[in-house]
Structure 1
Amino acid sequence: MFSFTRRALGVSSLALAAGCATGTAGGGSSNASAAIGAYGLDLTAGDASVQPGDDFFRYCNGRWLDSTEIPSDRTSWGTFAILDDKSERDQRVIIEETAHAGGAPGSLQQKIADTYNAYLDTDAINARGIAVLEEDLATIAAIRTHEDAIRVIAGADFPTNSPIVAFASLDARNPDRYVVTITHAGLGLPEREYYRRADSAEQRAAYVAYIERILTLSGQSNGAAKARSIMALETQIAELHWPIADRRQRDRTYNLKSRTELRAIAPDFPWDAALEAGGMGQAQEVVVRELSAMAPLAALFLATPVETWKDYLTFKLINGSADVLPSEIDAANFDFYGKTLNGQPEQRERWKRAVDQVNDAMGEAVGQLYVARHFPPEAKAQMLDLVENLRRAYAQRIDQSPWMTAPTKVVAQEKLAAFVPRIGYPDIWRDYSGMDVHAGDAYGNAKRANKFNGDWATARLWRPVDRREWNMTPQTVNASYNSVMNVITFPAAILQPPFFDPHADPAVNYGAIGGVIGHEMGHGFDDQGAKSDARGVLRDWWSPEDVAAFQQVTNALAAQYDGFEALPGLHVNGRLTLGENIGDNGGLQVALRAYELSLNGREAPVRDGLTGTQRFFLGWAQAWRSKYRDEALRNLVLTNPHSPPIFRVNGVVRNMAAWYEAFGVSQDNALYLPPDQRVTIW
């Protein structure tokens, strides 16, 4: 990833979610069997010794949790990881068949084959050694001034980093254009708290040792002293970063500035040189995200000796290229980022990482082949039916909201009606004809792919916004909501059991995929998405009365999650996870309403002694089944806006009256909340 210009364009909100496969929208086909159990639920996975009101997550998943081992090359295991593993293996077949068949020089088939095979050929990578770095190391060595440094950072075709970076993103106040966006960066540990917390001292010491090892393995002198200097610099950068939860405040992170106003923030910083080198020199306006951090970060950049920046950039180059460098460097990188930070015992097999490499370079090329094999056309129509069912239920919940005023409800309904669902795959595919790939050149291929994709992203500044472009590939196991485009996206790879099964009980489908659809819709009305209107424009469309009422209920929700302890002494950050928790809270309420509407006044059948409502909630709990290594769970809590899965289950259901009624939960149970403490947002 390149620093000043080569930042990937992100969406306003990204959530791990769920999806669907083939069959009728509600499921329950009579002439075929469900993929899981008799009707979509694995009733052998639960722990009957646990009362549902004490720990619903374990009640549904306890035996699975006790009997399942996390694979040695994974930091967690569960529904998402299992589907990701399946997608990975499906892609391997596609890529290796493509590589075996070959293709004409310059063809997409040839590019896929050469990227994959070069990455697999570790003998060739080891034989070339660190000689592949010579040109890039020489570029860094030639730096003489701070302006030289920023030009290298912004314009290099190799991995760099910096306290201040820029990239192209949609303009939140004018969604019909892209704008240069400036934010802070520059860290090698996952987040600023790793540089500050007393319980991260071991990780900090290991990071310094890792920097020294990387520099030594690449032939750099005085590795120990340089490692200490780099760590000291990153610690200073981290102190100036905003807390991660503050970065979610979209009204604070949108600060439109002219070039003159940008220069005034830090007059001595080489802003113009940076934008020029990054291909953004024509931009007349920029959006500055963490405005209060920019002047001190710019001052730190200029106060830090040029030699320190050269050492820092040398490390970032080698660290960012480790997987296409000799095995000793690659192994050292895994020992720190895999084992130390995330507790992963073994490196992933090379073929799995090669699949990732092809995806990083030309993901939509693989996606086009993946969709042809693994996403039947009828699945798109079925998923659209489900989305419309949830949209109708959401409209009812908005109308019935006791805290939102009537004028604001009108605008909320307009926004809900304007939601655009994107299902399975994009309507247009990326053109990779300009990407240059060479057989046997893993390092060069990675550089050229990064430059190609970085230039493509930056060029969006100068062309009209194309709303058909996706932010993820069809083979990605995920889902998202983009507040600036007002779109929800469900890639093909997640549209399968256990999230949706055409032959499963509708109650299970509504609890799983229905909850996920509701979750993604809910992002349009969470603490971030609610600040954009139906067109995606960042503006105040809520009355002050509505804002106050919304803050009251969401503050209560944040306080609930603050009380959840993921590991001894490590609590969930209710502010950081608020948007995702709002999505879960409202999404499952809406999904339940959609399920009730689907019954058309009929009673749901009882199956294995379970009512329809019980099966609905079990479907949600089963969808979030997973377990984590402690190190990975710690990383998740400190850096990720998603709550750990156990709390995405227990933290949601304990706020729903229907769950109490369905499972006979009383005040004697651990998850019980008095009615006046339950949070209902939608």
Structure 2
Amino acid sequence: MKHLLLGAAASALALTSGIAHAQQPAAPATTASAPTKPTYGSYGFDAAGMDLSVKPGDDFYDHANGTWAKNTPIPADKSNYGAFNTLDELSRTRTRAILDAAKDDPASKIGAAYASYLDTAAVEAKGLAPIKPWMAEIKGVKDKAGYATLAAKAARAGISGPFRFYVGQDDKDPETYILSMSQGGLGLPDRDYYLDEKPEMAKIRAAYVAHLESMLTLAGETDAKARAAALMAFETEVAKVHWTQIDSRDADKTYNKLTLAALQKAAPGFDFAAYFKANGLTPTDLLVAQPSAITGEATLIAKTPIAVLKDALLLRSLHAYADKLPDSIANADFAFYGTTLSGTPEREARWKRGVDFLKDSLGEEVGKVYVAQYFPPETKAAMDVLVKNVIAAMGRRIDGLPWMSDTAKARAHKKLAAFTPKIGYPDKWRDYDGLAIQRDDLLGNAMRASQFDFDYNIGKLGKPIYRWEWGMTPMEINAYANFGMVEIVFPAAILQPPFFDPNADPAVNYGGIGAVIGHELSHHFDDQGAKYDETGKLNQWWTDADVANFKALTDKLVTQYDAYEPFPGAHVKGAFTLGENIGDLGGLAVALDAYHASLDGKPAPVIDGMTGDQRFFLGWAQVWRRNYREANLRQRLVTDPHAPSQYRADIVRNFDSWYEAFKPAPGGKLYLEPKERVKIW
């Protein structure tokens, strides 16, 4: 199980006493001279972005970022905009330079892939011809057996179908790979979009049906209106059997090991053996995340006309590859998924989308060049030190926990000692030799890349765990925790201002990247991560009293976040965002301890009238500055396990040190009495 610092919707599944070092890139680091001043302000924080008319105790996020928020429009090609986006734009600009240099090289695979994406004239001239053979395969399906086989083939091509499946670690046997499957079959982001009675959701449902009709028409299909309505009716029934987001994040509820025979017996309406065999899989055992949803979907498939199931595959195919097809398809797809769902007025420039295509298809091949040019060894060395300091602080906090038994503390220290941090880039790069790329075949390149990734993943079965593997490219502005691997991972591109600046005051760096390190570390001890022991095994290692004490604390955090209401009647879901909120709470606490320890007993200097703790908390608030379009924020409340950025910044209200630093008056909107402040790790 993998937890991200930032949800995919913003952009879409580890400590030994020594540090795991990656091999150094062959080429030199960037030749640009290092700045001698911080990127932001005089000490690493953008003081000009503050709104001093807002009291820290009323809204700490606005106090730290209010002027920036008022003066920073969201670009037309963005659904939201903030610190992550600023770095993402820098990362993509750098990647573009790498790809521009490669696209005219006949021997460069990344250059050929990028050139195929930029050749809009060829894409428009070919029209739907490149995808017609696949559409013909869908139309040629005659029965449910043929549908099961083709749905499996679609999965290999990156096209979503009735179920999702992949190979990952067995949570209760983390040295073994196993086939896992989970619910699927929806074209809207979540079951709530089908079942929620709010007027906003009803409007989206109407727009979705109109979108389906439009896409069928653009694909040259007849009777589009009736077919769109039939597919919507089918998906609504699927939504009714889907598990909620809250249940689907529960590691215990979603661990269900079944034999293929048992699954087939429980779900006779779908030929699972044929489904897996179509991709060369004959599993004996598999993990089923949401059994009742899988069996419910199988029952629905059995009684649904084959024409409706084929339309679902056709429309998912057009959505999956819309950006590799003519603008008539791509613009229609964006109009719904980009504008209606997220509020984004314009598609991104083609070069930006091309960079993303390369990141998805040949990410580590590009990453090799990226880290050679833009990730200095000094940054990696500095991160090694920060990680060690934050982990040491976590150990001290474990020792001081009043609610945890000595038995559990001893196991917690074992888990802490088992961590592997990964910083910057992999120590073993992916080999793309088997991926065929052609300069004049964008859709084929995209499909082959999806098939290549699928085969790579399925190929893990029966092999030792790929402990060198990364789940992100070096160009990502994100970080993650992987429970089964007992690791925390920080790609190169996030290790830049405002998260980390070698010329900034240490307090700001600890409030930025230090808290990010602490966040990912704390994930391994959040309400789900804490269920995994020092070997990465899903295994209860706490006493019953520890579990009860922990739940009493996390329940307070759920209640705190449930109260946040970005729009009238639209609240943050405290139970859904709990893991991330624990990560923020624990991460900030650990980073603050690490910062204090780094002072070696000396008082922190006062800079520009700000104390060390004030600078620390401002550094934290700065990385969460972000403006949202309303549609995007509403979507996140349903689908994103992270709370909106403002409330992530405002986690400071639980820290006694914040009260001491900013002296918020009782009665302020953020003020909590000492007994109400949540302290977990």
- TM-score by length of structure 1 reads 0.94
SS at match of 1:461: coil
2:98 is aligned to 94
1:172, 1:537 within 8 Å by CA — same for their partners in 2? yes
* Larger mean Cα displacement after TM superposition, 540-549 or 134-143: 134-143
Among 37, 59, 63, the residue aligned to 1:33:
37
SS at match of 2:541: coil
CA distance in 1: counterparts of 2:424 and 2:35, whole angstroms: 25
Superposed displacement of residue 375, structure 1: 0.3
1:580 is aligned to 580
CA distance in 2: counterparts of 1:437 and 1:54, whole angstroms: 55
SS at match of 2:168: strand
Q: 1:456-490 CA deviation, whole Å, 9 max, x = no partner?
A: 11111132211001011001110000001010000
Runs of 4+ in 1 over 4 A off after TM superposition: none
Specify the code of the residue in structure 2 equivalent to 1:221: T
1:265, 1:294 within 8 Å by CA — same for their partners in 2? no
1:321 is aligned to 321
1:383 is aligned to 383
1:168 is aligned to 167
1:14 is aligned to 4
1:540 aligns to 2:540 (yes or no): yes
SS at match of 1:570: coil
Where in structure 2 are the equivalents of 1:322-471 lying within 5 Å?
A: 322-471=322-471
Q: 1:33-78 CA deviation, whole Å, 9 max, x = no partner?
A: 1111111011111011111111000001010011110111011111
1:159, 1:316 within 8 Å by CA — same for their partners in 2? no
CA distance in 2: counterparts of 1:511 and 1:130, whole angstroms: 51
CA distance in 2: counterparts of 1:605 and 1:32, whole angstroms: 19
CA distance in 2: counterparts of 1:406 and 1:13, whole angstroms: 28
Where in structure 2 are the equivalents of 1:56-205 lying within 5 Å?
A: 56-100=60-104, 102-104=105-107, 109=108, 111-156=109-154, 158-197=157-196, 198=198, 199-205=200-206
Specify the code of the residue in structure 1 equivalent to 2:547: V
Where in structure 2 are the equivalents of 1:644-663 lying within 5 Å?
A: 644-650=644-650, 652-663=651-662
CA distance in 1: counterparts of 2:346 and 2:509, whole angstroms: 35
Aligned CA-pair RMSD? 1.4
Specify the code of the residue in structure 2 equivalent to 1:176: E
SS at match of 1:348: coil
1:272 is aligned to 273
1:176, 1:464 within 8 Å by CA — same for their partners in 2? yes
CA distance in 2: counterparts of 1:12 and 1:32, whole angstroms: 37
2:253 is aligned to 252
Among 19, 27, 47, the residue aligned to 1:43:
47
1:52 is aligned to 56
2:268, 2:299 within 8 Å by CA — same for their partners in 1? no
2:22 is aligned to none
Specify the code of the residue in structure 1 equivalent to 2:255: Y
1:567 is aligned to 567
2:40, 2:498 within 8 Å by CA — same for their partners in 1? yes
CA distance in 1: counterparts of 2:163 and 2:355, whole angstroms: 31
Where in structure 2 are the equivalents of 1:623-638 lying within 5 Å?
A: 623-638=623-638
2:20 is aligned to none
1:212, 1:227 within 8 Å by CA — same for their partners in 2? yes
CA distance in 1: counterparts of 2:616 and 2:334, whole angstroms: 41
Gaps of 5+ in 1: 1-10, 19-29
SS at match of 2:47: coil
1:479, 1:490 within 8 Å by CA — same for their partners in 2? yes
- TM-score by length of structure 2 reads 0.94
CA distance in 2: counterparts of 1:380 and 1:473, whole angstroms: 16
1:509 is aligned to 509
CA distance in 1: counterparts of 2:270 and 2:310, whole angstroms: 18
2:383, 2:423 within 8 Å by CA — same for their partners in 1? yes
Specify the code of the residue in structure 2 equivalent to 1:149: Y
Superposed displacement of residue 159, structure 1: 4.7
CA distance in 2: counterparts of 1:536 and 1:236, whole angstroms: 37
Q: 1:124-171 CA deviation, whole Å, 9 max, x = no partner?
A: 111111122221112111211111101001024545333323211111
Superposed displacement of residue 268, structure 1: 4.1
CA distance in 2: counterparts of 1:168 and 1:447, whole angstroms: 20
1:243 is aligned to 244
SS at match of 2:52: coil
2:421, 2:488 within 8 Å by CA — same for their partners in 1? yes
* Larger mean Cα displacement after TM superposition, 378-387 or 405-414: 378-387
* Larger mean Cα displacement after TM superposition, 163-172 or 605-614: 163-172
Superposed displacement of residue 620, structure 1: 0.4
SS at match of 1:170: strand
* Larger mean Cα displacement after TM superposition, 262-271 or 414-423: 262-271
* Larger mean Cα displacement after TM superposition, 473-482 or 119-128: 119-128
Q: 1:207-246 CA deviation, whole Å, 9 max, x = no partner?
A: 1111111110110111111111111111111111101111
1:232 is aligned to 233
CA distance in 1: counterparts of 2:211 and 2:609, whole angstroms: 56
Superposed displacement of residue 575, structure 1: 0.7
2:18 is aligned to none
1:212, 1:226 within 8 Å by CA — same for their partners in 2? yes
* Larger mean Cα displacement after TM superposition, 30-39 or 147-156: 30-39
1:8 is aligned to none
2:5, 2:516 within 8 Å by CA — same for their partners in 1? no
Specify the code of the residue in structure 2 equivalent to 1:204: R
1:24 is aligned to none
Specify the code of the residue in structure 2 equivalent to 1:189: L
2:241, 2:292 within 8 Å by CA — same for their partners in 1? no
1:72, 1:344 within 8 Å by CA — same for their partners in 2? yes
SS at match of 1:329: helix
* Larger mean Cα displacement after TM superposition, 467-476 or 439-448: 439-448
Specify the code of the residue in structure 2 equivalent to 1:13: H
CA distance in 2: counterparts of 1:32 and 1:132, whole angstroms: 52
2:26 is aligned to none
1:219 is aligned to 220
Specify the code of the residue in structure 2 equivalent to 1:103: P
How many residues align? The count is 653
Q: 1:432-475 CA deviation, whole Å, 9 max, x = no partner?
A: 01001112111111111111111111111132211001011001
CA distance in 1: counterparts of 2:157 and 2:408, whole angstroms: 49
1:302 is aligned to 302
Q: 1:603-656 CA deviation, whole Å, 9 max, x = no partner?
A: 111111111111110110011111111111111111000000100011x11100
1:27 is aligned to none
Q: 1:548-605 CA deviation, whole Å, 9 max, x = no partner?
A: 0000000110110000012222100001100000000011111111111111111111
Specify the code of the residue in structure 2 equivalent to 1:138: A
1:79, 1:626 within 8 Å by CA — same for their partners in 2? yes
1:52, 1:665 within 8 Å by CA — same for their partners in 2? yes
* Larger mean Cα displacement after TM superposition, 119-128 or 220-229: 119-128
CA distance in 1: counterparts of 2:161 and 2:435, whole angstroms: 26
CA distance in 1: counterparts of 2:186 and 2:292, whole angstroms: 18
Gaps of 5+ in 2: 12-33
Specify the code of the residue in structure 2 equivalent to 1:660: Y
1:4 is aligned to none
1:679 aligns to 2:678 (yes or no): yes
SS at match of 2:459: helix
